Amino acid sequence: MSTETGTGTASSGSGSSSINLASVRAIAKKDFQDAVRSWTFWGLSVFFFLLLVAVTGVISYFGEDIAAEGATTEALILFVSQITRLVIPLIALVLGWKAIAGERETGSIKILLSLPHSRKDVLLGKLVGRSAVLSVSLLVGFVLAAAVVAVLLGGFDIVDYGSLLLMAIIYGVAYTSIAVTLSSITRSTTIAGAAMFGVFLMFYIVWNAIQTAFQLLISRGTIEGVSYTREFTGPDGAVQQMTGERVPDWALFIDMIDPGNAFGNAITVLSSTGGSELGTSYPEFYFAGDVPFYLQNWFSFIILLLWIVVPIGIALWRFDRVDL
């Protein structure tokens, strides 16, 4: 495809720009090489390696009961996924913090756009480059740790291990997309940093309180809850029933679209690790009939894909129109 270039595009931003894959690749390659030269890539690789080895060591030392049950890899997936659910967003947000905002603040974005690169090329190149830094460092760390993990655990499920790696990469790309998008719509690294912090707080504090808020609204009659009946066996062996009230399906869906919940749910689809500890799996007695498709764990893959595509789509539209 042709690409609109030149200082006019960099300064005015009024014209429509196309995407040149060669330009995207060149920008992504430079971003990745810069990370290698600054030891960011190697530092992340060592971090993920040490994380896996440390968690495995703890399980092998203290988890005799787990090992006896033959569920060592499942325990590893459970513990590491809970840690990476918090750590990967932090790493991705830091990696994407200055992706565009830093270039705008220093003025180097205009120099970059004076070369044969369109704004879309720059944005996509930054996303691919920063995603590659996180993804390849995850891959290197996991591969290097695999032998140590297998020896320490005494049993190793490659499918579960590979599932965690795959979903960690997709999860990281989703947060990188969010970070690069926020960086592209802010003029300074200070504002971009505040936006990254706001996103982190939203998903790890505000989002977790949403379901509690919905339950409160139900108790006050503001929104209508959904009644359910649960059957269980009592102490005397007789089948008993218990009724309750839960939040509506749309409220459960809001809980599911949190990237962290989607990450945990998707792992349960690919691996043998139980869903009750990882994601937002809802008990069957919540539903009188079939579970709605958008509340099933497989739908979490689509949610994560949307967290990649939608933010960067907004950024591609917005960045083409801002005054640099």
What digits encode the pLDDT tens for the residues 55-111? 888 887 776 665 555 567 788 888 899 999 999 999 999 999 888 988 888 888 888
Are residues 174 and 242 part of one domain? Answer: no
pLDDT score of 127: 96
Are residues 219 and 184 part of one domain? Answer: no
Beta bridge partners of 241: 231
**What's the CA gap between 192 and 102, in Å, rounded?**
9
Are residues 55 and 134 part of one domain? Answer: yes
14 pLDDT exceeds 50?
no
pLDDT score of 66: 59
pLDDT band at 7 (very low <50, low <70, confident <90, very high): very low
Classify residue 195: in a domain, yes or no: no
Q: How far is CA 229 from CA 122, 212, 245, 304, in A?
A: 54, 21, 9, 32
Are residues 225 and 285 part of one domain? Answer: yes
Mean of all residue pLDDT scores within the chain: 85
Of 140, 166, 169, residue with least CA distance to 270: 166
Compare 235 and 206 and report the one with higher pLDDT. 206
Are residues 312 and 297 part of one domain? Answer: no
Classify residue 184: in a domain, yes or no: yes
Are residues 218 and 143 part of one domain? Answer: no
pLDDT score of 17: 65
What is the model's pTM? 0.87
Burial of 133 (0-12, 13-18, 19+ CB in 10 A): buried
Tens of pLDDT, residue by residue over 243-271, are 888 889 999 999 899 999 999 999 988 88
Classify residue 275: in a domain, yes or no: yes
Are residues 272 and 126 part of one domain? Answer: no
Are residues 217 and 168 part of one domain? Answer: no
pLDDT band at 25 (very low <50, low <70, confident <90, very high): very high
Tens of pLDDT, residue by residue over 153-164, are 777 788 889 999
Number of domains observed in the structure of the chain: 2
Tens of pLDDT, residue by residue over 183-196, are 999 888 899 899 99
Are residues 184 and 281 part of one domain? Answer: no
Classify residue 199: in a domain, yes or no: no
Tens of pLDDT, residue by residue over 287-296, are 888 888 999 8
Q: What is the domain extent for residue 226?
A: 209-302
Classify residue 286: in a domain, yes or no: yes
Are residues 97 and 123 part of one domain? Answer: yes
Classify residue 268: in a domain, yes or no: yes
Classify residue 204: in a domain, yes or no: no
**φ, ψ dihedrals at 301, nearest 5°:** -65, -40
pLDDT score of 73: 79
Are residues 216 and 74 part of one domain? Answer: no
Compare 2 and 125 and report the one with higher pLDDT. 125
Classify residue 151: in a domain, yes or no: yes
Are residues 44 and 177 part of one domain? Answer: yes
pLDDT score of 194: 92
